[in-house]
Amino acid sequence: MSSPFGRRQFLAGASLVGALPLLGSSAGTASAASLVTAAGPGPAAPATPSMWTAQPFPLGDAALGAGLFADKRSLVLDFGRSYDVHRLLQVFRANAGLSTRGAVAPGGWEGLDGEARGNLRGHFTGHFLSMLSQAYVSTREQVFADKIGTMVDGLAECREALRRDPAVLSVPGRFTTAAENPRGSYQFVDLPATVLGGASDLTIAVWVRPAHSANWARVWDFGDGTDRYLYLAQSDAAGVPRFAITTAGAAQEQGIDGTAPLPLNRWSHVAVTLRGSVGTLHVDGVAVGTRSGMTLNPAVLGQLANNWLGRSNYAFDPVYAGAFCGLDIWSRALTPTELSELQGRPAHECAAGAGDVASYPLEETAGGSFADAGDRNGPAVLRRTWGRPTHPGFLAAYPETQFITLESMTSPDYTVVWAPYYTAHKILKGLLDAHLSTGDVRALDLASGMCDWMHSRLALLPSATRRRMWGLFSSGEYGGMVEAVVDVHSLTGRAEHLELARMFDLDPLIDACAENRDVLSGLHANQHIPIFTGLIRLHDATGEERYLTAARNFWDMVVPTRMYGIGGTSTGEFWRDAGVIAGTLGDTTAETCCAHNMLKLSRLLFLHEQDPKYADHYERTLFNQILGSKQDLADAELPLMTYFIGLAPGAVRDFTPKQGTTCCEGTGIESATKYQDSVYFRTRDGSGLYVNLYMASTLDWTDRGVRVTQTTRFPYEQGSTLRIAGSGTFDLHLRVPHWADAGFFVRVNGRAHHGGAAPGSYLTVSRAWRDGDTVEISMPFTLRTEPALDDHDVQCLMYGPVHLVARHEQREFLRFGLFPSASLSGDLVQALTPVPGRPLHFLLDGVGIAPFFEGTTHAYHAYFRREEPRIVFAGLDSGVENPRRSDGTSFLDEVWAAAPFASQAAFRRHVGSVTARWVGDTLMTESQRRRVEETARRARFA
């Protein structure tokens, strides 16, 4: 039969594979939206790797229904709709020497003033592109395609500008026009060697409009390195302008300091006059500092090699940010009257006239040079401190020097180099997603060009150098680069792209994991998790089994031995020894990026091997840490996502870390726009459909002409209903969660399905499905505790898939007992008192209990200390203390580990066998045994 819906052809996540021809950049500056209109809804889905025994559906083929996930996503969609993407492009445009169009960079890690001088800027732009792409594929809202088009336009313009020498950015000047150096452009004006003219008496004057108050940024600097020079700094360490001249370095400077800072974003006239042994610094025609007895002048220095506007002879001084105009140099000291007249008119209209040594009005509106109005010197040339990129494919929001410096680093220093390849990965993935969501060929060309540029650099380096680079924390972190490059290769088919993917290797770690040797202790978690998603994709492209084996073993080293109850991992960004959970609880646990990347790893492993443990992990982490990492609050300027999630007693989630542009906020907005990407999978031959998550959603299975609608309020509802539109014969594989020990019940068209399946497996319904068939699923939740592996008494509460927290400000562990309320099923839920009208909210000993996924700023306890001091059954106290074995297991632990019990008689028999063992091990007396067994006999369970 014909499909009941239109065919979608969008890709997302791990579906970004296949082979499409590389298209050039001939599309010009057409927007992504116009390209979509001209070329259809996007590129057709290429074939998935032959190694995948399960196949994902394109993100656009699964739509979220109303409910918890849709509500969380709506907050991020609103953020994406409202955010001005020109703010994200600001740092790219500045780096390329283009107008930033008045946009203000987001700040934090995505700007010049953030941590480590903003050496990670550009990363959030990539995340944002991926978020927009997923939002467009999921919603088909034109606003997202338009924003993608604007960003691709801007990035293409920036790459083109970086390929050329800098061009003048003309802005309104003091009288006519001026030249601007955008902050972050690393541009300066290179003046001819003859510009000072060799005079001993001199006046140097220029109009400046600083855009940033960076200490030691030079208005001008004439010198031969750091021994012989004269300069005028916009501000010294005290924040005021300073003139200095020396022939013997900084210690021998003869200087003059101003008295007040130069105002930002306002024109100031600054001049230095030298007459005999007297030097004077003038601001706006007023002398602000004078020095007598000077023995140095420009004639003493001789002809100098470096004559610069905006750049210092000290390499680590900041580059001047702002505008210049009207640079004049006279071979005499102008009088106060002459300097005063210069405040109102250009020099050539004043009595002093234009500078007789040099006069650069800096009024050009195009090109890359400035003429001397008196034609006494050659042109001044606009340059970058770092020159041109080494390859035309380079695209970044900072100079290529970040990448070049990394190649010689032997020890980490993120204030010098902070993960440039990590940042490049985010941009690369964002462009790849932009292409796959909208069909914009320029986005693929930009992504392919970035790969070409990286290949050109890394291919020149010995493998030992690359491994040293990648092993540096965090300078050498490269995120999911390998995965993204393999995906680009699948689209371009170019051999050098696959070669590039192999260059990001950490062979000792890969070897250790392939041999199942756990060497993770002390490693930075998020630096290494994405390595293994890349290894799986390398396996897919090359067939090298070692890669897949290493990834499988690595996953088992993290789950569950380094996993917290909410599904996350890491403490202070690092891993400790396997099994140490209680010993790592603090306020900087569970970095959210780690959860995001572990989900990607679990998803990729599931595509190779349909082991339910990967889906169980996915559910736990998605329903708890990922949902709980987003604050339940709308904000047009901030994503409101967590970085760390504190798991210490009384922790409070910080939803606005570091001004809202950390790595975790980037992955957070990506996570929130692809919640549905792992609900459904199909078998490779199309004979089966996996339902891995219970979430309100609709799947369009286009190849089978079937639509599956899942209606549920899960996890507020303990079940789900699937409705089939269309017909066909296939196996429906329903995941039976590992926690579903109270049963997993299925009814097809109202009739019980009698096939059974254990928790942590799949229940398969094989059927010739007809239009309108329904599958009703019931999976009752039970309350259970999960002890920390290193301290049995430190536990967390799980109710079905939901991690429950106690809301309390106390900074020491809360103490709870639960066994006195246990039922024959082993369910501990009787200990909780439901709060009317608030699903999944309870009271326990008067303390509020709530789901972690609620994004609030309440103080909470994710773990508590379990106290079961006495043996109590169904509220009856035996009067006997609850003894323990040497491993920490208590008598009650052993009793209830055997639940569920078929009857009270079965319970009594089991208690009798346990007491016999404990008496035999001299851990309980005969008297205590009798009292315990009598209490078990009298206990009446609901």
157-185 pLDDT, tens digit per residue, is: 999 999 999 999 999 999 999 999 999 99
Kindly tell me the sign of the dihedral angle through the C-alpha atoms of 178, 181, 187, 193: positive
| Phi and psi, residue 244, nearest 5° | -150, 150
Q: Is 626 helix (H, G, I), strand (E, B) or coil?
A: helix
Q: Measured over all CA atoms, what is the biggest interatomic distance in the chain, rounded to whole angstroms?
A: 115
Coil/strand/helix, residue 524: strand
Predicted local distance difference test score (pLDDT) of residue 707: 98
The mean pLDDT of 266-275, rounded to a whole number, is 98
pLDDT in tens, 353-369: 999 999 999 999 999 99
Residue 12 pLDDT more than 50? no
To the nearest 10 degrees (0 to 180), the angle between helices 525-542 and 592-608 is 20
CA distances (Å), 645 to each of 651, 806, 853, in order?
8, 15, 12
DSSP lists the bridge partners of residue 762 as 735
pLDDT of 236 above 60: yes
pLDDT band per the 50, 70, 90 thresholds, residue 33: very low
Where does the pLDDT of residue 22 fall: very low under 50, low under 70, confident under 90, or very high at 90 and above? Answer: very low
Helix, coil or strand: residue 717: coil
From 326, 296, 170, 325, select the one nearest 231 (Cα to Cα): 296
DSSP string, 807-841: E---SS--EE--GGG--TT---GGGSEEPTT-TT-
pLDDT tens track for 492-507: 999 999 999 999 999 9
In degrees to the nearest 10, what's the CA dihedral of 304, 308, 311, 312?
20
Q: In a 10 Å sphere around its CB, with 0-12 CB exposed, 13-18 middle and 19+ buried, how is residue 72 labelled?
A: buried
Q: Which amino acid appears at position 760 of this protein?
A: G
Helix 68-82 × helix 142-163 angle, to 10°: 50
Phi/psi of residue 666, each to 5°? -65, -50
Tokens 């002459």 belong to residue: 338
Cα separation, 176 vs 179, whole angstroms? 11
- pLDDT of 44 above 50: no
pLDDT digits (tens, 9 = 90+) for 800-821: 999 999 999 999 999 999 999 9
pLDDT category of residue 909 using cuts at 50, 70 and 90? very high
The arrangement of strands across the sheet holding 728-736 comes to: 54-56, 680-683, 688-691, 728-736, 761-769
Q: Which of 34-48, 254-268, 562-576, 865-879 has the lowest mean pLDDT?
A: 34-48
* Axis-axis angle for helices 495-502, 481-492 (nearest 10): 170
Hey, how many other C-beta atoms are within 10 angstroms of the C-beta on 344?
A: 11
Instruction: Provide the 3-class DSSP secondary structure of residue 201.
Output: coil
Is the per-residue pLDDT at 60 higher than 50? yes
Q: Give me 898's structure tokens.
A: 């055997």
- What is the C-alpha to C-alpha distance for residues 507 and 513, in angstroms, rounded to an integer? 10
Look at residue 36 and tell me whether its pLDDT is greater than 60: no
For the chain, list the domains and their CATH numbers: 1-45+67-164+411-481 (no CATH), 170-384 (2.60.120.200), 679-714+719-778 (2.60.40.1180), 784-938 (no CATH)
Cα–Cα distance, 815 to 841 (Å, whole number): 19
Share of the chain above pLDDT 90, in %: 92
Residue 603 near residue 614, CB atoms below 8 Å? yes
Sign of the alpha-carbon dihedral angle for 508, 509, 512, 514: negative
Q: Annotate 642-690 with DSSP letters as a single string.
A: -SS---STTB---SSGGGG-SHHHHHHHHHHT-GGGGSEEEETTSSEEE
How confident is the model at residue 659, as a pLDDT? 85
Element (H, E) at 223: strand 218-223
Taking only the tens place, the pLDDT of each residue in 303-356 is 999 999 999 999 999 999 999 999 999 999 999 999 999 999 999 999 999 999
pLDDT value, residue 114:
83
Comparing CA positions, the residue from 678, 696, 799, 805 lying closest to residue 741 is 799
Tell me the pLDDT of the chain averaged across its residues. 94
CB burial of residue 492 (10 Å; 0-12, 13-18, 19+): buried
SS3 assignment, position 594: helix
Calculate what percentage of the chain has a pLDDT beyond 70: 95
Tokens 């902070």 -> residue: 418
- For helices 545-558 and 507-514, give the axis angle rounded to 10 degrees: 80
Cβ pair 304, 193 in contact under 8 A: yes
Give one DSSP letter per residue of 1-30, joined into a string.
Answer: ---SS-------GGG--S--PPP-STTTT-
DSSP structural state of residue 622: I
Nearest alpha carbon to residue 100 among 110, 92, 112, 108: 92
- Choose among 538, 560, 662: nearest CA to 620: 560
Whether the Cβ atoms of residue 247 and residue 229 lie closer than 8 Å to each other: no
HSE, CB side, 13 Å, CA atoms: give it for residue 318.
23
CA distance 367 to 376: 20
Distance CA(555)–CA(598), nearest Å, equals 8
pLDDT over threshold 50, residue 609: yes
* Token pair 């959860």 in the structure block, residue: 595
pLDDT at 921 over 80: yes
Interhelix angle 123-139/142-163, rounded to 10 degrees, is 150
3-state secondary structure of 72: helix
What's the rounded Cα separation, in Å, for the pair 525 and 327? 53
Eight-class DSSP state of 795: E
Task: Quick: pLDDT tens for 249-270.
Answer: 999 999 999 999 999 999 999 9
pLDDT tens-digit readout, 408-438: 999 999 999 999 999 999 999 999 999 999 9
Task: Provide DSSP, 245-289.
Answer: EESS-GGG-EEEE-SSPPPTTS-EEEEEEEETTEEEEEETTEEEE
Output the 3-class SS for 333-402.
CCCHHHHHHCCCCCHHHCCCCCCCCEEECCCCCCCCEECCCCCCCCCEEEEECCCCCCCCCCCCCCCCHH
- Burial category of 754 from C-beta neighbours within 10 Å (exposed 0-12, middle 13-18, buried 19 and up): exposed
Residue 288, CB-side half-sphere exposure with 13 Å CA sphere: 21
CB 76 within 8 A of CB 639: yes
- Which structure tokens are listed for 843? 């009271």
H, E, C per residue of 865-889: EECCCEEEECCEEEEEECCECCCCC
Neighbours of 1 (CB within 10 A): 9
Do 166 and 190 meet the contact criterion of CB atoms below 8 Å apart? no
Alpha carbon of residue 888 to chain centroid = 40
Q: Phi/psi zone of residue 122: left (φ > 0), alpha (ψ -120 to 50 degrees), beta?
A: left
pLDDT at 136 over 70: yes
pLDDT in tens, 698-756: 999 999 999 999 999 999 999 999 999 999 999 999 999 999 999 999 999 999 998 88
**pLDDT computed for residue 47 by the predictor:** 66
- pLDDT band at 117; cut points 50, 70, 90: confident
User: What is the average pLDDT across 551-573?
Assistant: 98
H or E segment and range at residue 768: strand 761-769
The closest of 409, 487, 418, 405 to 450, measured between CA atoms, is 487
**Is the model's pLDDT at 42 over the cut of 80?**
no
Strand partners, 188: 383
